[in-house]
Amino acid sequence: MLPLKLATVCSRQILNQFMGNGKKLLSTSTGTLKVHEEVQEALHAGKPVIALESAIITHGMPRPVNLQTARDVEAVVREEGVTPATVAVLHGKLHIGLTDAELEYLAGERTDLVKVSRRDLAYVVSQKLSGGTTVSATMVAAHKACIPIFVTGGIGGVHRGGEKTLDVSADLTELGRTPVTVISAGVKSILDIAKTLEFLETQGVCVSTFGQSKDFPAFFTPRSGHQSPYQVTSAAEAAKLIWAGEKLNLQSGNLIAVPIPEEFFSSGEIIESVIQVAVKEAEDKRIQGKEVTPYILQRVNELTGGESLKANVALVKNNATVGCHIAMELSKLKKQDSNGPMKLPATSCDSSSRQPHRTGSSGKQRGRSQTKDGKGSGRPVIVGGVVVDYLSKIGVDNFRLDGATYPGEVHQSLGGVGRNLADCLARLGNNPLFISVVSDDAHAEVFFSQCNHMDMSGVRILIGEKTPTYSGILRSSGQLVVGVGDMNLHQEVTPELISQFEEEISASPIVCVDGNVTPEAISYLCDMCSHHKVPVCFEPTDIHKAGKPFLTSAGDRLTYTSPNLSELRLMYSCVTGKSSQVSDSRSLHAKMTEAAMLCEELTWRVPVVMVTLGKDGVLLCHRLQDDEYPPTAGNIPKISDKMNAMHVPACSIKEEEIVSVSGAGDCLVSATISAILKGHDLQRSVRAGMLAAMLSLRSYDPVPKAISSCQLTEDLIQNGTS
């Protein structure tokens, strides 16, 4: 399998970028962002990563101390078991994670390196320049890769006289709008610390001092004469603060101020007195803007004989150590806490807000009691693919695949079996968790913007890949002639990704997986569900993928599946090792006879098989002793020696009403599951699925928006086939 290239692990934040404040993810497809492989692998594995700035290399320290410090800080981070991600702009690309050669390049004797703040990013990238990133630019980069913690020496602030000059560092506004936690030694005493803290409060930034005191440090000294609003006494406490902010989705940063190591306390007082001399020199020479701080630090180093530089290096290393400890605790906390970032609010028809019920043969509702172990108390989980569909409907009945151009219609929509299932279940009020991957290409923005009614916290974004696409040629009747799919990204729905959601899966009443997922991932998911007694529904996707569960033991751990007749034949062959006898007759009787014969064998492995027959409806085959209680978590089915088969006809629809068949099967399965979760028996649940399929047939969108207003009430379920 190709190495994973995961760039982010908090898709909820990316969704907010697209839908909330208008920001967009920089994309390697346009050559603007490059994530180092070491950082990619750490993020994918859920290991802690911290961001580091590079302006300290290019503009903050003299040579050769700058390079040695950069190397030493990265070494400190690695020794703590954390991955460093030093950020810089190199030849017009924003790099997250650098090689040693790139560190050398930044630390060399060059005069063309730019000190890159947020305001400079677009220009520097557009002109293919290079430079070191300041706090604000590094925060931007860290957030784009969803690295939650950034370590630096000290941040900028409000300059003295800032109420007149409006000289306020971009670091402060960045903290107010970017959800990254900054670990620093406070702010330098050359700034107006009181106004800086006031400005941070206005920006909504949570400021805390790390340690046993609320004294706010001033870089070289542990006490500035001002106090932080809060303090965090340990790495674990700091991690809880960060995680709470993520779950609340505040979209603002935290500042954790770490006092300089104790051995430098005494020299700090000397350095502070020298700083005042350097500040006066800078004023006399009328040095302004972003040139002030580098000038003062250089002069202070000269006047103290290098003592300030030693203290500077020591506090940066100390901050890195503290940041690593916090990152480690945050990583543990995220793995332990299954609740995750706050989800989209439930819709008014959310089934979790209603009392579960089932309908008996008399049509009256009867309550179903919750199992003692709480199984099924969560929500459905969908594991599968996202695909961008391009459907071309040929406008003439007589055509040949001869290279000619025919009149017709071309439509683009979002698809993918897993995405369709999650979309439909969300519109029906089931609030599913969708686990999948997309790329950072242009399709990602469309995906997030059109799926904002779904919980996307299980979707991961990969850097430099291609979001899967599908191109289908349809007859004028809507029937598929041929399709071509570019689906390689689905290989990245891995067991490692699935494992991150075990708590959600273990509490789910039912889990659905589509055939786009690899056999290894399907097997891992089915083993997990079997352990937690959660039923699995397998959606075969197409004839080439229908046999995947039967390549492993997963085939023995499925409860539901929904193949068409061609997919059923393949499943039968996988289970029995025999080839099925395909009937020449296209009559409904012949098709049902063949399907029933094949299901006689398959239902010993998969108790409920819904064979989709297109315009002829569904043949429902199962070995449940009591089909009024379809299997959900905590409701273990009793298998019968006798297979039951029932034909559920399709809803009446005129041929000219059919626009596309691409999403009908997915809507059928989703609405069937939704009805099962609401307590209906198998027959009525499949009829509900038929209603949803009918709505899909009338729409170019695989999951039409009309489904959101169709709640599939009991009357519709009972009368929907008329």
Tokens 């990316």 label which residue?
14
- Write down the CATH number for the domain with range 361-719: 3.40.1190.20
| Catalytic site positions | 53, 188
DSSP per position, 10-55: -HHHHHHHHHTS------GGGT-EEE-HHHHHHHHTT--EEEE-SH
Determine the residue type at 487. M
- What is the rounded CA–CA span in Å between residue 30 and residue 26? 8
Residue in the block written with tokens 């799919």: 485
Give the number of other CB atoms < 10 A from CB of residue 626: 12
For residue 614, what is the DSSP state?
Answer: G
Q: Note the pLDDT of residue 337.
A: 65
Residue 601, classified by CB atoms within 10 Å of its CB into exposed (0-12), middle (13-18) or buried (19+), is middle
Residue 434: helix, strand or coil by DSSP?
strand
Q: Which helix (H) or strand (E) holds 312?
A: helix 307-336
Tell me how many helices (H) and strands (E) the chain has.
Answer: 24, 27
Residue range 323-376, pLDDT digits in tens: 999 999 998 888 776 444 443 333 333 333 322 233 333 333 333 333 434 456
Q: Give the integer Cα–Cα distance in Å for 254 and 184.
A: 11
Report the alpha-carbon distance of residue 635 to residue 550 in Å, rounded: 24
Q: 1-10+22-147: what fold?
A: Indigoidine synthase fold (3.40.1790)
All structural domains of the chain with their residue ranges: 1-10+22-147, 149-337, 361-719
DSSP tag of 393: E
Listed in order, strand segments (DSSP E) in 475-556 are: 480-486, 511-514, 536-539
Each residue's pLDDT tens digit, 675-702: 999 888 898 899 999 988 988 888 878 8
Residue 82 is classified by DSSP as -
Distance, in Å, from the CA atom of 342 to the CA atom of 351, rounded to the nearest integer, reads 18
149-337: in CATH 1.20.58.760: no
Partners of 537 in the beta sheet? 512, 560
The pLDDT score that the predictor gives to residue 633 is 84
Spatial separation of the C-alpha atoms in residues 95 and 86, rounded to whole Å: 8
* Eight-state DSSP code of residue 700: S
Sequence-ordered list of residues with C-beta below 8 angstroms from that of 345, at least 6 positions apart, any chain? none
Q: Do the domains spanning 149-337 and 361-719 agree at the CATH topology level?
A: no
pLDDT at 303: 80
Rounded Cα–Cα distance for residues 438 and 451 (Å):
13
709 — phi, psi (to 5°)?
-95, -5
Q: Token pair for residue 380?
A: 């459905």
Length of the chain equals: 722
Q: Which residue from 518, 646, 500 is spatially nearest to 46, judged by alpha carbons?
A: 500
The pTM score is 0.52
Q: For residue 552, how many other CB atoms are within 10 A of its CB? A: 16
DSSP 56: I
> Distances from the Cα of 302 to the Cαs of 307, 316, 332, in angstroms?
9, 19, 44
What residue has token string 């897993």?
A: 418
Q: How are strands ordered across the β-sheet holding 608-612?
A: 6-8, 455-462, 433-439, 381-383, 511-514, 536-539, 560-561, 608-612, 618-624, 639-648
Residue with tokens 């279940």: 425
Contact present, 625 and 642 (Cβ < 8 Å): no
Gap between the Cα atoms of 423 and 345, Å rounded:
15
Closest CA to 195 of 230, 162, 153, 228: 162
Q: Which two tokens stand for residue 77?
A: 């981070």
pLDDT, residue 476, reads 80
- Those residues with Cβ within 8 angstroms of residue 584's Cβ, 6 or more apart along the chain or in another chain: none
Residues of the chain with pLDDT under 70: 1-31, 266-269, 289-290, 337-377, 478, 581-585, 708-722
